[in-house]
A and B are shown apart, each in its own frame.
Chain A
Amino acid sequence: MPIPPLQPNFGTEIIYSIVVLTICLMIYFEVNKFFKLTEYKGISYFQNTFLFFAIAYFFRFLAKPVVRSLFSIRMYFFNTIILLVFIYASCVAVFYLVYSLVWKKFGVVNGEILIHLIAVVIALIVLLTGNVLFFIVVNIVLLIYALVVVFLERKNKKFKMYFIYLLLVIFSILNIIDILVPNFIFGLQLWIYIFSIVVFLILLYKVLKEIK
């Protein structure tokens, strides 16, 4: 049976953004309790993932045409800045997630600076060249890398979140594509929103359960 097309309107956009933003900030502040106690780098990278997801989803909301038209945000400069921050924050969030899994393998090299530099370069290239394909390719490469990392980590039986991490990366990429190439997933946006919220909720539940 084919999936019925569902198009989000302004109300849906605002609810979706508020829900994801709230979940991300809740995870961030909840995880911060453990970080303040341990100052453990892995926890810091993990919580940064959700801080940057929160920033990304806020700017994603502003980047939606339905929102821009409502607030008459038509100035090219502001649109560019909004898109720049959105792409940058989305990239940083996914990079931090992957980095939280592999940071021990980097040894003394500080991968954080690299994360921000690469994200800025990607955002600038996408905006200056208008080459969305480049962005999609970069994200697919990142997804493959995440798949490999997650697959390797899967051998560690204690690491239970591999499937959720994968879904998080996939839905994050789909959310970015939704902004840059709206027709690419036309009619499926609402389904993506629902599944994204479910993924974030699972993560929040797991975090709240572990950090009592």
Chain B
Amino acid sequence: MKRSRLEIIKDILKIIQEKKNKIKPTPLLRYSNLSSQSFSQYIEELLKKGFIKEAGEKGKKFFSLTQKGFTYLEKYRDIISFVEDFGL
């Protein structure tokens, strides 16, 4: 079954959280189960909207969650329940 946009965002954020809030782009792409094109679009969106932040360490790039990212994960069940109950 095709994942919804909200679900994909949750999955990406969850992966980052489960990897102790620090993950490189390549494993994140692999775990997120998206095409590289979709992955780039989602990462760009998540960075732009402030769900994740990019940090560099010894020349390597890492992604980690922001407070907004954590709040999204925390509220995800409520958001989905709201969307389903109101038929949105």
Contacts and interface: CB of A to CB of B under 8 A. Distances in A.
B88 A210 contact: no
A165 B5 CA distance: 25
A74 to B, nearest CB: 42
A211 B88 CA distance: 15
Contacts of B49: 39
Interface residues of B, number: 18
Interface stretch (A4-12, A111-119, A156-164): A156-164
- Bin the interface of chain A by size: 20 to 34
Contacts of A32: none
A42 B85 contact: no
A40 B78 contact: no
A40 B85 contact: no
Contact of B87 (A39, A156, A206, A211): A156
A200 interface: no
Query: DSSP class of A's interface residues: helix, strand, loop or mixed?
Result: helix
A151 to B, nearest CB: 12
A40 B87 contact: no
B81 interface: yes
Q: Which of A153, A158, A161, A165 has the most CB of B within 10 A?
A: A158
A158 B88 contact: no
A210 B72 contact: no
Contact of B78 (A42, A101, A165, A210): A210
Interface in B27-86: 49, 68, 71-72, 75, 78-79, 81-86
Nearest to A206: B85
Contacts of B82: 34, 43, 207, 210-211
A137 B83 CA distance: 31
A37 interface: yes
Given A37-B71, A37-B75, A40-B5, A210 B81 contact: yes
Contacts of B86: 46, 100, 159, 161, 206
A210 B83 CA distance: 10
Interface of A: 34, 37-40, 42-43, 45-46, 100-101, 153, 156, 158-162, 165, 206-207, 210-212
Given A158-B85, A159-B86, A162-B87, 20 more contacts: A34-B75, A34-B79, A37-B72, A38-B72, A40-B5, A40-B79, A40-B83, A42-B83, A43-B82, A43-B83, A45-B88, A46-B86, A100-B86, A100-B87, A156-B84, A156-B87, A159-B84, A206-B85, A210-B85, A211-B78
